[in-house]
Chain A
Amino acid sequence: MTTQITTREYILFAMFAVLTSKIMTMPHVIYNYATHDAIFSVLLNMLIELLLVVLITLLIAKNPDKTFFEFLSSKITKFGATIVIIIISLYLLLKATFILQETYTFFLHTIYEQFNIFYFFVPVFLLIGYMAIKGVRTIGKSLEIFGFFVVIGLGIAFINTVGLATFDANLPYFRDGISDVFAGTFYSSFYIGNSLVLLFLMGKVKINSKITQKTLLCCSLVALFVLIMDFLFYDILGYTVIYSTFALSDLSQFNPFVSDLGHLSWLSIIVGTVNLFSLVAIMLYSIGEGTKQFCKTNTATIPILFALAIMFGTCYILKFDLKVFNEIIIDYGTYFATSVLGIVTILLFILNIVRRSKNETVTKQSNNISSNIDANSVDAI
């Protein structure tokens, strides 16, 4: 019996994918291209992300018993499936590496004067490696706990910044047409597409009858929060956005909540770290799951360890410098990301509308969440 996550945990996966990396450097990058219309680029990005979430969730709901590799193999042959999975895995590997590098710089920017690279990478590799190797169930249950802290932390860190907003700092919009909006979206395309990790959850989710609607609703709330947060960021910081690399920490510094107790930027640091590392663990798991299918290994441990080594190696080669990363991402990663997203989106559209063949039978599981017997633990006995 394979390990399966509940619908609720799947929704948490989706929410984390939508939220993470949208509230760190993405707002700053978008502003460089879209300036006053940056919020519309953010809106467009979130819509694309939600579209991906919906397409993937529909696919998962229709094919509850197959893994993504098995499903693709049945549609576009094994070779095609292998190519697609390699590309997506590479994409996720690059994103995960970037997120780690971003987090390292984030800590240097906020609370550390100096930060030894090994001090950073060894613990985080332990964490994400452990979570990824233990499997989707462990990650899913961990997100149930982390999600609670992320919600509370974000609420406290930003709730009072609303009072500082003037709501007109970037007016008028579209002063130079809408091309800036698309430019902002294009050059920030690397930050969207986290939802692709959900593809590797296919076959591992206990399908609920309204999984798509619930996922869309919850992810829309997250997208709304991202929009509000980025709006506040652009509104309150105004022209100094160009100097603010990390929206999460820079915005929370303005919170006048408890001025005698200091700024609440440290709370945002906790929230951001939990968010980022959780997503990297999910990405690492996805890479392991994806590659183990065609590597024909029973466990994903070796692919995961291999991916970790590549991540560290990439950071090492690029000298752990976020600026270098950013340049490479903007110059090359953008095109790669846009291509991958475009191809995957079209592929998902086609796969969703293609009729099922007569030989395929879809079995819907009746999910009794109230009984909630842990499938993984049956194997533990």
Chain B
Amino acid sequence: MLIVLTPSSFTTPSQFKSHAIATSMALDTAEDELELTIQIIKPQPNSGSGPKYQHISSQGATISDCIEKLEMQLGRIIGLGHCATMVISDDVCTKYNLLYTLDDLIRGNELGTNTLLIHTMDKAKDILTSSAAEENNTQDLLMDITQLNQQLYSTKTDLFSFYNNSISPHSTAIMLSLDINNDAQQGQSNSESGAQGAASGSTSATSDSTSNSSNSSGQQSKSIKSQGDISIFVDGNLVDTLSYQELKGFNWLDSKTKRNLFKLENISSEELTNATMELVNLGQNIKLETSITNNTPLIYAKVDVRAKILKIQDENDAILTNQISYIDESIQSAFKELVQKEVDDSIKLSKEKNFDKLNFYHLFEKNHYKEWQQYLANLDDPDNYMQGIQVYVDAAITENAQ
């Protein structure tokens, strides 16, 4: 057998030569078709420096169609085994149902389940090519941004999660949304994104993640902007792209989120008068109790937060240097109000847009199955179950992590 099989194996080329190994993909629309851009490794013979990449695009009716055309164009098989990120433009999300669009990628076994999905309002291709020289890699940057968001804001945005959430009863999947920062001046864009980050509560890590450079053709510099925006999908259809501020309420109810910045205003106590405090949430314990009373699903959330005071400003916006080492009642009550308000806003938004980011469906289903089924049966539209859900929050800062 060896004698028969060996000669052919002697001449089999390496897969690195026969395959174009893709590390990222971008999906846009072009007229009535899809435009797929892939970032492939560009071999650098005997290179001691980092990897180089190139971007190629093709159009087709489906992703498989695009890949086939790319293969014909390159003369090599497109290897998706190492494709770690996939950027999808808003046009694609609006025009197509992503469940069907991505179906052949999911059914095929080549693309890993951990492939990160990223939404963008701009052209997806620009996200890939936004680095200085065209050949630089943006995959690491995208992965860093996405994984940071994943850790801090519990926005799990990989292919597997997307699919799993989309086909489950609550049908709601999310994707991190990134944009291109088109500002010409390097310093301006840095400070802007930094200010935006502070105002919106995104962390310094997020603002640091922008990259500024100019490409080889000397065009206006582009950079990736991440502000914690999330795109919401229901049953694979894009519902809306919501800002970090609009979704803050959900973060309070999710035990996996960390490092939320929040501001308490009009704090009055013995030492403070109408002061404004900036605190950071270092971690939270959440207990969700559910009940279905009079055919109304109720959620009681007990949120215990470990917080750290970052800044205190008095009514004249002067920064106070005295250290507050305790959290008094006024702070607690302000905090409680803030949390309830933000939660109410987010829940209201989810009712308006009809999405269920925190999977309340499963929460009620596992705790009160029969009552929940009855509740759903009583609804005119069972998919609209969020309308009847009420959420009450009892939030407290249990530990002052000074």
Contact = CB atoms under 8 A, between A and B. Distances in A.
A175 B160 CA distance: 26
A239 B167 contact: yes
Contacts of B17: none
Interface in A165-214: 168-169, 171-172, 175
B5 A119 contact: yes
Interface string A123-162: 0000000000000000000000000000000000000000
A237 B164 contact: yes
Interface in B1-27: 1, 5
Contacts of B107: 243
B109 A110 contact: yes
A243 B1 CA distance: 37
A254 B106 CA distance: 15
Interface in A104-124: 109-110, 113, 119, 122
Contact of B369 (A172, A237, A253): A172
A175 B114 contact: no
B163 interface: yes
Contacts of A238: 164, 168
A154 to B, nearest CB: 20
Contacts of B113: 250, 253-254
Nearest to B4: A118
B365 interface: yes
A240 B167 contact: yes
Interface string B156-183: 0000100110011000000000000000
B299 to A, nearest CB: 16
A315 B49 CA distance: 50
B112 A253 contact: yes
Nearest to B373: A175
Contact of B168 (A122, A239, A250): A239
Contacts of B106: 243
A104 B5 CA distance: 19
Contact of A172 (B1, B5, B160, B365): B365
Contacts of B164: 237-240
A78 interface: no
A238 B169 CA distance: 11
Nearest to B113: A253
Interface string A235-252: 001111001000000100
A48 to B, nearest CB: 28
Contacts of A175: 369
A292 interface: no
Interface string B68-93: 00000000010000000000000000
A171 B167 contact: no
A121 to B, nearest CB: 11
Nearest to B368: A172
A113 B163 CA distance: 24
Interface in B49-83: 77
A263 interface: yes
B366 A171 contact: yes
Interface in A248-295: 250, 253-254, 263
A240 B163 contact: yes
Interface in B111-135: 112-114
A265 to B, nearest CB: 9
A326 B168 CA distance: 26
B160 to A, nearest CB: 7
A113 B79 CA distance: 10
B163 A122 contact: no
- Among the interface residues A122, A169, A243, A254, which one has the most CB atoms of the partner chain B within 10 A? A243
Interface of B: 1, 5, 77, 106-107, 109, 112-114, 160, 163-164, 167-168, 362, 365-366, 369
20 contacts: A110-B109, A113-B77, A122-B1, A168-B366, A171-B365, A172-B366, A175-B369, A237-B160, A239-B167, A240-B160, A240-B167, A243-B106, A243-B107, A243-B163, A250-B113, A253-B112, A253-B114, A254-B114, A263-B112, A263-B114
Given A109-B109, A237-B164, 18 more contacts: A110-B109, A113-B77, A119-B5, A122-B1, A169-B362, A171-B365, A171-B366, A172-B365, A172-B366, A237-B160, A238-B164, A238-B168, A239-B167, A240-B160, A240-B164, A243-B106, A253-B114, A263-B114
